A and B are shown apart, each in its own frame.
Chain A
Amino acid sequence: MSRKDPSGGLLVSPIRNGTVIDHITAGEALNVLRILGITGSTRECLSIATNVESKRLGKKDIVKIENRELCKEEVDRIALIAPQAKINIIRDYQVVEKKGVKIPKVLKGVVRCPNPGCITNTSEPVESTFEVLEKGLHCLYCDWLIKDDIANYII
């Protein structure tokens, strides 16, 4: 429709319906998939491009997921490791919605507490809960502070 050539400029073949996560911090595409719970055994049809040239970021990663529209909660988790990411919802080959990501104030069940003595690392019926502070992620159960390598702790 508005695009003359739907594959123009695309590294991978276009998708009809789904989500394109663009402007991911270079090298973080696989972590983005982990956050979304997409593993090697999921059914989604995926394409991933890493370290592609970008005017804005120098280099970036892109993830395209066919037949799945990400909900707000999923999208915001991505912000932890790729704050510049843009989510494009594709319907019938067109970008119908574009949204940025926003780090949520509280993360429930997203990040595992690195403290082995934390009650959230037991068989208790409780989800890890972190409040997002400027200096890092603060465990609301044991007060542990995750300052960097957040991706390593993503559940």
Chain B
Amino acid sequence: MYHIISIRDFERSDLDYLLDRAREFDTGGYRPRMLEDKLAALLFFEPSTRTRMSFATAMARLGGRWISVDSVEASSIVKGETLADTIRVLSGYADAIVLRHPKEGAARLASEFATVPVINAGDGAGQHPSQTLLDLYTIRQSMPIDGISVGLLGDLRYGRTAHSLALALSLYGVTLHTIAPGGLEMPANITLELRERGTEVIEHADVEEVIRDLDVLYVTRIQRERFPDSASYYNVASSYRITPDLLTGVKEHMMILHPLPRAGEIDPAVDRTPHARYFEQARNGVPVRMALLHEVMK
């Protein structure tokens, strides 16, 4: 059985294969009712409109059906029940389980109790592999991933999307530039792991010193909760904000990505520049999730 739990479980050839499949779904190279007789359970213990809706959309586009439990319902349905039991029960209803859970490792645990495939749709500060795949997909739409320079900007300490993207990119020989406010730097183990995988990781104090060298700038959300007071938050947030001015002299093809929703990290005026690719990135969630759902249930 094929589970999709962590980007660490994938080799480069697995990622390339899934990206190729997503491309086929994106360009209409599929039968409309490929998952006609299939049912996916979307089990969300944490609010996430976007991820949940894009899995539902992906299922519907493949002619499949889905049952969905959101965070409020989830907490009442499973009152006092372990995740392990919930998963065993849902395995009897659905052909695949898509799980979002606040605890790290929840998806791994679910895969051990499930008798149907499990797709991790985010586990706490841990992994969110479908997000990473759609990030890679968006990059690959415009350029080959090999050897490019990628800037990771924002909260690199708690931002799980940045961690798993960095790990995935390390399979493509990229150079990583990290730009994070004090206290929100990439955790030392992740940097170590990236370097062990042969990736060059360069830390920068501000984005301006590196932005002209980048092919991709991946911006993540800086959350107000991470700061002692709103003054220090605004201070940091404003100095990490991407504005049109900052983009003078960048490479023509340089793309700005963001997992969304954004807070104030990107000035809306940037949306009108050709560098802004975050809405396209969000849209790519559908073909990527079609590929994943089809892969685990075919």
Contact = CB atoms under 8 A, between A and B. Distances in A.
A97 interface: no
Interface stretch (B61-69, B104-112, B140-148, B226-234): B104-112
Given A118-B103, A143-B104, A124 B125 contact: no
B108 A119 contact: yes
Given A124-B82, A124-B109, A126-B112, A119 B189 contact: no
Given A124-B83, A126-B84, A118 B112 contact: no
A125 interface: yes
A141 B192 contact: no
A118 B189 contact: no
B126 interface: yes
Contacts, number: 48
B124 A117 contact: yes
Interface in B88-133: 101-106, 108-109, 112, 123-127
Interface residues of A, number: 17
B272 interface: no
A140 B101 CA distance: 17
Contacts of A118: 103-105
Interface in B4-44: 6, 8
Contacts of A145: 189
Interface in A113-139: 115, 117-120, 122-126, 135, 139
Contacts of A123: 82
Task: Indicate the size class of the contact surface on chain B.
Answer: 20 to 34
Nearest to A139: B105
Contacts of B112: 126
A145 B104 CA distance: 13
Nearest to A145: B189
Given A117-B124, A118-B103, A135-B192, A141 B108 contact: yes
Given A123-B82, A124-B84, A126-B84, A142 B126 contact: yes
A115 B125 CA distance: 11
A143 B103 contact: no
A119 B192 CA distance: 24
Contacts of A139: 105
A77 B30 CA distance: 53
Contact of B103 (A117, A125, A135): A117
Contacts of B126: 142-143
Nearest to A147: B189
Contacts of B189: 145
Contact of B104 (A124, A135, A142): A142
A141 B82 contact: no
A113 to B, nearest CB: 8
Contact of A125 (B84, B102, B104): B84
Nearest to B103: A119
Contacts of B109: 119, 124, 126, 141
A123 B81 CA distance: 10
B215 to A, nearest CB: 27
B162 to A, nearest CB: 14
Contacts of B124: 117, 142
Given A143-B126, A145-B189, A119 B82 contact: no
Interface centre among A125, A126, A143 (most CB of B within 10 A): A143
A126 B110 CA distance: 10
Contacts of A120: 105
Interface centre among B82, B105, B112, B125 (most CB of A within 10 A): B105
A97 to B, nearest CB: 36
Contacts of A143: 6, 8, 104, 126-127
Contacts of A141: 104-105, 108-109
10 contacts: A117-B102, A119-B123, A124-B82, A124-B84, A126-B84, A126-B109, A139-B105, A142-B104, A142-B105, A143-B8
